[in-house]
Structure 1
């Protein structure tokens, strides 16, 4: 059986398959691309969080620190799931596109180096930051100022659609399957019972609901259709970092030019999953200025409901502190909003 390094080289023509536990290899790679200063040595390279898609390391040398991110032709957390390795180029293009806007740039990591041949980005390390996944815990909530910043970031981003921006179709098709299709299929093979006892039984009626599946299919077609706005594409708490008073948005590999309602629907869905107080939810509608004439808050709600359902009965689970009954109630409310 081929090793991961051999699989990587066969798919990419690159012999630089990087791993967290091989500091000597990292040292050699960074020297190979002429990124290290004379006599600069790597001291440590721990994982930079719990991301699903890529190898992401915080590299500490005896002079500085930075983020190293390498994509694979598969999902890092699920090596049996193929994924387009070119997604790293999309994130590169996103960071380059927003660098022209002072507000977006101030809430995004700086791109230091892009090595397209080896599917690597080197980026600013914003510090010992944690993402906002803590809001899923009971008693935690997103600060109003943070939500205002996130809404303003989305509104500012949606004013952009750079000429020739990548369609990102292969990664969007993978995302599409896991949002709009597989969670609503009874034969998807997801280990729901292992995720939460009783969840497989709760999911079954939704997996056999043809009207619900038809609605999800229609929304999936909207997601895959081109649109006038640059989207982040994965706008949820795992993509938001907090360090002191700075909020940084990361992981834009799912970005594309599409319908802006998708980003807002995903954001709203995760606030609901985190049981955010209703008055705080209104910040999005109050602070967001639509940039398209046909913008629809109803479509935002539709994308929100699909995202809720796929996070509860799909493979991309969250650290939710919800009982089985609470999960079922959220699923029923989301379904009612869709059909």
Structure 2
């Protein structure tokens, strides 16, 4: 019996939703009280979530009014591959993240508003940004621009300053943090594996031949990195720190697929399913890693880092950004994306990946990254 079939057998009360079944979506939204008296779901459009089912629903009133919202259902499998298990409770951590962010207006302004949640069906109803598109195009030669880079950095700064100081933060999303740890700190350094369950959204690690096909010499460089004791020990130490409960709320997957460009030119941040309490430097490092992977101009990178760090005045001394820690987190994310399962559609010249992999090694081992020292 498949994972989904077993779940549906054990939980007949949970309707597994799909964008091509608007009638079922209407039934469920009505049952949980998310429709007005004269309102119905008319159309649903898939938003291509990888791990969860995400769709835009259009709701129309009999009198002619209409609105849209984003409906997200997170079930115990990967949406694009139902044979892969995912934490069943991840929607709770995401709900908790939105609740915390709502207390920080400067950060909440950059995210969708959580309109409702339903525990029995693992559902979230979110504000929709019509006409928005994610910024994965950056990997294929697109440019972020200074304004968007500053906005993304300002979001992280607001999140860091607005949530620091919680005496006993609730580690509400421990299962997703453990999954993130595996994808970042374990599988990129493991021998190449094929098939099987448990790889999560990244999928299995490509073997050295596959890496060499991507860029000549990358497989050899990956093998050398995996046998580099100084590097692997630094990764292990950083991974232990990552798993600890940190001082700030972090998004957990701060990269272009979760950055939306909205029609007015602004940016929004979505999908905090890996969010929880950790080092603020993790989000900054992840964002920096993806700007480097996407070969963004130096001024864009500088704008992001300046906005994320803010002015280190007396008010911010206690919560200042640890730049060597940013470098180390950036390094492990770069390694993950170059030789791990989370491959990206990079358009880059020959030698770019090998060169950036060496830069990432230096960042992890020494905490040094040139863009952070200017």
Post-superposition Cα deviations, 1:225-271, rounded to whole Å, max 9, x if no partner, equal 11111111111111111112232111111111111110100010000
**TM-score normalised to the size of structure 2?**
0.83
Task: Give the aligned partner of residue 202 of structure 2.
Answer: none
User: Could you tell me how far apart the structure 2 residues matched to 1:231 and 1:14 are?
Assistant: 33
The structure 2 residue matched to 1:322, chosen from 325, 344, 348, is: 348
Post-superposition Cα deviations, 1:187-234, rounded to whole Å, max 9, x if no partner, equal 443245568725545533223333322211111111111111111111
Task: Give the aligned partner of residue 171 of structure 1.
Answer: 176
Task: Give the aligned partner of residue 148 of structure 1.
Answer: 150
Task: Give the aligned partner of residue 15 of structure 1.
Answer: 14
Q: CA RMSD in A?
A: 2.3
Once the two structures are superposed, the pairs formed by residues 23-172 of structure 1 within 5 Å of their partners are 23-48=22-47, 50-62=48-60, 63-138=66-141, 140-159=142-161, 160-161=163-164, 164-172=169-177
Task: Give the aligned partner of residue 240 of structure 2.
Answer: 221
Task: Give the aligned partner of residue 260 of structure 2.
Answer: 241
CA-CA distance at 1:29 after TM superposition: 0.8
Alpha carbons of structure 1 residues 191 and 59: separation in structure 2 relative to 1, 3 Å: same
CA-CA distance at 1:71 after TM superposition: 0.4
Once the two structures are superposed, the pairs formed by residues 180-191 of structure 1 within 5 Å of their partners are 180-189=185-194, 190-191=205-206
- The answer to whether 1:4 aligns with 2:9 is no
Alpha carbons of structure 1 residues 64 and 284: separation in structure 2 relative to 1, 3 Å: closer
User: Could you tell me how far apart the structure 2 residues matched to 1:8 and 1:194 are?
Assistant: 38
User: Could you tell me how far apart the structure 2 residues matched to 1:37 and 1:195 are?
Assistant: 53
Task: Give the aligned partner of residue 330 of structure 2.
Answer: 304
CA contact (8 A) 2:45 2:57 kept: yes
CA contact (8 A) 1:9 1:15 kept: no
Post-superposition Cα deviations, 1:153-181, rounded to whole Å, max 9, x if no partner, equal 11111121566533411111111001011
Q: Which runs of 5+ in 1 are unaligned?
A: none
- The answer to whether 1:230 aligns with 2:229 is no
Alpha carbons of structure 1 residues 167 and 28: separation in structure 2 relative to 1, 3 Å: closer
Q: Mean alpha-carbon deviation: is it higher for 190-199 or for 176-185?
A: 190-199
Aligned residue for 1:117, secondary structure, equals coil
CA-CA distance at 1:39 after TM superposition: 4.5
CA-CA distance at 1:5 after TM superposition: 4.7
**TM-score normalised to the size of structure 1?**
0.91
The structure 2 residue matched to 1:257, chosen from 264, 272, 277, is: 277
CA contact (8 A) 2:57 2:69 kept: yes
Alpha carbons of structure 1 residues 30 and 220: separation in structure 2 relative to 1, 3 Å: same
Alpha carbons of structure 1 residues 275 and 16: separation in structure 2 relative to 1, 3 Å: same
User: Could you tell me how far apart the structure 2 residues matched to 1:248 and 1:8 are?
Assistant: 34
CA-CA distance at 1:143 after TM superposition: 1.2
State how many pairs are aligned.
336
User: Could you tell me how far apart the structure 2 residues matched to 1:9 and 1:196 are?
Assistant: 45
Task: Give the aligned partner of residue 304 of structure 2.
Answer: 284
CA contact (8 A) 1:212 1:338 kept: yes
Post-superposition Cα deviations, 1:29-62, rounded to whole Å, max 9, x if no partner, equal 11211222334332221112x4322100001133
Aligned residue for 1:179, secondary structure, equals helix
Moved runs in structure 1, 4+ residues, more than 6 A? Answer: none
